[in-house]
């Protein structure tokens, strides 16, 4: 195994929307590397479909305060309101900036950027659904990613494509660098650097039915968690109401934004009963619970009564082909039905991590619940928890989050680098990692302890015990299962002993993070004895503001987590009952 050393002022880990946006900020003023395990334009941001919200008021009256109100209410009052204000205020410039960089937004007749409806976004604090999501057909994320990447290329940003970061070196509380594995050669690269931004995306692969790409395994949060950095609000994981039945492939909320309707087996528009005013456009946590409730009452469709229908048939071919071309093609390809004429079988799918690496509004990583800053380490995007999404994210607010807080993380990195001297990292800093890899390769392979089996059992059990509804019983059962999986993981073996694109080796290391993400999720969920946003405890069905209006911080403690808490930062919106 060759060991190669590099020296940079700053390193960004991840080339999705958050990483690229941070790079655009930092690159002109420092020697910067962007390290990414995927080729940049394969990042999950490119799979985002429906839109990015900003109160541009292109279709109707709107303002960022209404956007902030919706975001806070959507979060079930767990979001930090000063951070939400920043998100919604800076949204407008973020969209215009993308437009100026060449993003081909869909347009209105008058040439302005088109906007559509999305779940939980309203005008006048709940009066009616708002036209706030800016979009490029149903390929908004694809367009954002391409636009940002082309901007980075034009700026000469240095990329290390298909390099997987496996470790960070922090000495005396100061960042010294990161260690990466080059996928095509199996070589190890030591990156000496003063500042690192983690923009590694989510971890939806802890569940079996998920909209997330195979690569979303929580690497950034996992690497830091193993170094003693806590993870914030891990019990809040979002299930998107409309995944393709069994496959989990996402059918964007834009489908309902354009007028799509959810129906149960009798054809009833059941959301009228659960959210009488905004119906199918209620926030995701509520719609997912409504679907799960319909299914448990026997109102689900199909031979096993385990799905509902997303009905687009009344929209007409023109709207479908123009505004929802990609997702309807997924349906034709994977379900073999024609969505213009037939309703689509859907079920909730694991989608988005509200929790993650705790940061302040400038992307600076916090090492505890007292807001202690970890010098030189930053995080942005889905890997981070600012927290602007609280207990439940509104659709279109994540593409916005990666733009607003990606930029801020890049700026913070720059500020830090300009104030600190270069430091050095020792040649032996990769020794532990090399030893770990060699151990994995040398161990004889057995089927019983294969990565695939352990991961499959993890995903199935998380799906069963921790999905939309949870109880003390299911979470305790999952705690035991995780202990057992951890024990099996200690003996994990791999079949591929090669150096070239040894994806099995990388998946083995990713499984460690998936276990960490699951352990912290389950421990945080077991402790939180209330229901709020996406965390729904059947044994504690009410929201309990007196006791639980606080963020949880999970610190790794062996194979479990120790929990501490931090108060939510309130603002102008008083917590109220969350009806729609």
Ligand X SMILES: Cc1cc2nc3c(=O)[nH]c(=O)nc-3n(C[C@H](O)[C@H](O)[C@H](O)COP(=O)(O)OP(=O)(O)OC[C@H]3O[C@@H](n4cnc5c(N)ncnc54)[C@H](O)[C@@H]3O)c2cc1C
246 φψ region: left (φ > 0), alpha (ψ -120 to 50), beta (else): left
- Nearest CA to 464 out of 560, 350, 307, 556 is that of 350
- Rounded least distance, CB 181 to ligand X, Å: 9
> Which range, of 42-50, 289-297, 366-374, 484-492, touches ligand X by CB under 6 A?
42-50
74 lies in the site for ligand X, by CB under 6 A: no
- Rounded least distance, CB 354 to ligand X, Å: 10
Q: Which is nearer to ligand X, 79 or 383 (CB)?
A: 383
Could you count the other beta carbons within 10 Å of the beta carbon of residue 35?
25
339 lies in the site for ligand X, by CB under 6 A: no
Q: Identify the burial level of 61 via C-beta atoms within 10 angstroms of its C-beta, where 0-12 means exposed, 13-18 middle and 19 or more buried.
A: exposed
Q: Which is nearer to ligand X, 13 or 563 (CB)?
A: 13
140 lies in the site for ligand X, by CB under 6 A: yes
What single-letter DSSP state applies at residue 114?
A: P
14 lies in the site for ligand X, by CB under 6 A: yes
Three-state DSSP class for 527?
helix
Three-state DSSP class for 267?
coil
Task: Out of 10, 74, 141, 343, point to the residue binding ligand X (CB under 6 A).
Answer: 141
Site map (CB under 6 A) of ligand X, residues 365-384, x = contact: ----------------xxx-
Task: Out of 58, 106, 200, 238, point to the residue binding ligand X (CB under 6 A).
Answer: 200
Q: Which is nearer to ligand X, 36 or 58 (CB)?
A: 36
| Residue in the structure block whose two tokens are 């590694």 | 200
- Nearest CA to 334 out of 251, 262, 247 is that of 247
Site map (CB under 6 A) of ligand X, residues 399-438, x = contact: x--x------------------------------------
224 lies in the site for ligand X, by CB under 6 A: no
- Rounded least distance, CB 94 to ligand X, Å: 12
Backbone CA torsion sign across 501, 505, 509, 512: positive
13 lies in the site for ligand X, by CB under 6 A: yes
CA angle 141/144/146 to nearest 5° reads 105
Question: Catalytic: which of 117, 284, 393, 537?
Answer: 284
> Which range, of 43-51, 102-110, 182-190, 450-458, touches ligand X by CB under 6 A?
43-51
Q: Which is nearer to ligand X, 347 or 478 (CB)?
A: 347
**Long-range contacts formed by 70-73: CB under 8 A, 24+ apart:** 70/120, 70/121, 70/122, 70/125, 70/126, 70/130, 70/394, 71/388, 71/389, 71/394, 71/397, 72/390, 72/571, 72/573, 73/120, 73/126, 73/573, 73/576, 73/578
Q: What is the distance, to the nearest Å, from the Cα of residue 147 to the centroid of all Cα atoms in its chain?
A: 20
47 lies in the site for ligand X, by CB under 6 A: yes
Could you count the other beta carbons within 10 Å of the beta carbon of residue 28?
12
> Which range, of 30-38, 225-233, 315-323, 496-504, touches ligand X by CB under 6 A?
30-38
18 lies in the site for ligand X, by CB under 6 A: yes
Three-state DSSP class for 138?
coil
Three-state DSSP class for 444?
coil
284 included as an active-site residue? yes
- Rounded least distance, CB 24 to ligand X, Å: 13
51 lies in the site for ligand X, by CB under 6 A: yes
Q: Which is nearer to ligand X, 383 or 458 (CB)?
A: 383
- Nearest CA to 202 out of 240, 146, 176, 244 is that of 240
Task: Out of 45, 347, 387, 465, point to the residue binding ligand X (CB under 6 A).
Answer: 45
Residue 520's φ and ψ, nearest 5 degrees, are -70, -35
Q: Show the tokens assigned to 554.
A: 């999970």
- Rounded least distance, CB 84 to ligand X, Å: 15
- Rounded least distance, CB 476 to ligand X, Å: 30
Task: Out of 37, 408, 455, 528, point to the residue binding ligand X (CB under 6 A).
Answer: 37
Instruction: Please compute Rg for the chain using Cα positions.
Output: 23
Task: Out of 19, 129, 257, 356, point to the residue binding ligand X (CB under 6 A).
Answer: 19
Q: Which is nearer to ligand X, 398 or 430 (CB)?
A: 398
- Nearest CA to 114 out of 70, 49, 51, 47 is that of 51
Q: Which is nearer to ligand X, 300 or 381 (CB)?
A: 381
Q: What is the DSSP string of 370-403?
A: T--EEEEEEE-GGGEE-SSSTTSPPTTHHHHHHH
> Which range, of 196-204, 364-372, 495-503, 556-564, touches ligand X by CB under 6 A?
196-204
- Nearest CA to 340 out of 356, 322, 354 is that of 322
48 lies in the site for ligand X, by CB under 6 A: yes
Across 221-280, where does the E strand assignment appear? 231-232, 237-244, 261-263
> Which range, of 167-175, 212-220, 292-300, 322-330, touches ligand X by CB under 6 A?
212-220
Q: Which is nearer to ligand X, 270 or 378 (CB)?
A: 378
Q: Which is nearer to ligand X, 140 or 450 (CB)?
A: 140
The set of catalytic residues is 284
Residues contributing to the site for ligand X (CB under 6 A)? 13-19, 35-38, 40, 43-45, 47-52, 140-141, 164-165, 199-202, 211-212, 215, 219, 250, 252, 352, 381-383, 395-399, 402
């Amino acid at each position: 195994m060759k060991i190669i050393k590099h020296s940079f002022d700053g390193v960004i880990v991840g080339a999705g929307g958050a990483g690229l946006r941070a790079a655009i900020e930092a690159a002109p003023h420092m020697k910067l590397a962007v390290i990414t395990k995927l080729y940049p334009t394969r990042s999950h941001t490119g799979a985002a479909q429906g839109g990015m919200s900003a109160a541009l008021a292109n279709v109707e009256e709107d303002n960022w305060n209404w956007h902030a109100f919706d975001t806070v209410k959507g979060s079930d009052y767990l979001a930090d309101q000063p951070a939400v204000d920043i998100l919604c205020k800076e949204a407008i410039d973020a969209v215009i900036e993308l437009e100026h960089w060449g993003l081909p937004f869909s347009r209105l007749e008058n040439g302005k950027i088109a906007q559509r409806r999305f779940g939980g976004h309203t005008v006048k604090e709940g009066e009616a659904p708002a036209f706030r999501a800016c979009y490029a057909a149903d390929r908004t994320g694809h367009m954002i990613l391409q636009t940002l990447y082309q901007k980075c290329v034009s700026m000469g940003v240095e990329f290390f494509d298909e390099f997987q970061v496996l470790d960070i070196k922090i000495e005396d509380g100061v960042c010294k660098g990161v260690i990466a594995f080059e996928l095509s050669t199996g070589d190890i690269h030591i990156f000496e650097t003063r500042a690192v931004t983690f923009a590694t995306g989510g971890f939806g692969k802890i569940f079996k039915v998920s909209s997330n790409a195979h690569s979303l395994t929580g690497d950034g949060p996992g690497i830091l968690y193993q170094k003693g950095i806590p993870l914030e609000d891990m019990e809040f994981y979002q299930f998107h109401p409309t995944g393709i039945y069994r496959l989990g492939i996402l059918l964007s909320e834009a489908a309902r934004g354009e007028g799509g309707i959810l129906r149960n087996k009798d054809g009833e528009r059941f959301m009228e009963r659960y959210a009488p005013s905004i119906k199918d456009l209620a926030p995701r946590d509520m719609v997912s619970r409504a679907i799960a409730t319909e299914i448990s009452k026997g109102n689900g469709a199909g031979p096993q009564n385990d799905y509902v229908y997303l009905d687009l048939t009344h929209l007409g071919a023109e709207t479908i082909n123009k505004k929802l071309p990609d997702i309807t093609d997924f349906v034709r390809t994977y379900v073999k039905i024609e969505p213009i004429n037939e309703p689509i079988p859907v079920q909730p799918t694991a989608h988005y991590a509200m929790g993650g690496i705790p940061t302040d509004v400038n992307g600076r990583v916090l090492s505890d619940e007292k807001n202690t800053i970890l010098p030189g380490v930053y995080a942005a995007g889905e890997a981070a928890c600012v927290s602007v999404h609280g207990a439940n994210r509104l659709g279109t607010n994540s593409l916005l989050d990666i733009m607003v807080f990606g930029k801020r993380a890049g700026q913070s990195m720059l500020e830090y680098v300009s104030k600190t001297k270069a430091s050095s990292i020792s040649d032996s800093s990769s020794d532990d990692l090399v030893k770990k890899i060699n151990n994995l390769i040398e161990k004889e392979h057995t089927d019983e302890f294969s990565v695939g089996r352990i991961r499959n059992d993890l995903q199935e059990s998380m799906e069963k015990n921790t999905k939309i509804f949870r109880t003390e019983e299911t979470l305790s059962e999952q705690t035991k299962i995780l202990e057992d999986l951890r024990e099996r993981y200690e003996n994990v073996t791999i079949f591929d002993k090669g150096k070239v694109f040894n994806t099995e080796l990388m998946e083995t290391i990713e499984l460690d993070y998936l276990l960490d993400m699951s352990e912290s999720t389950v421990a945080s969920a077991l402790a939180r004895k209330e229901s709020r946003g996406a965390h729904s405890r059947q044994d504690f069905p009410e929201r309990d503001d007196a006791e639980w209006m606080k963020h949880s911080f999970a610190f790794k403690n062996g194979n479990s987590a120790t929990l501490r808490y931090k108060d939510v930062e309130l603002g102008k919106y008083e917590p109220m009952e969350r009806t729609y």
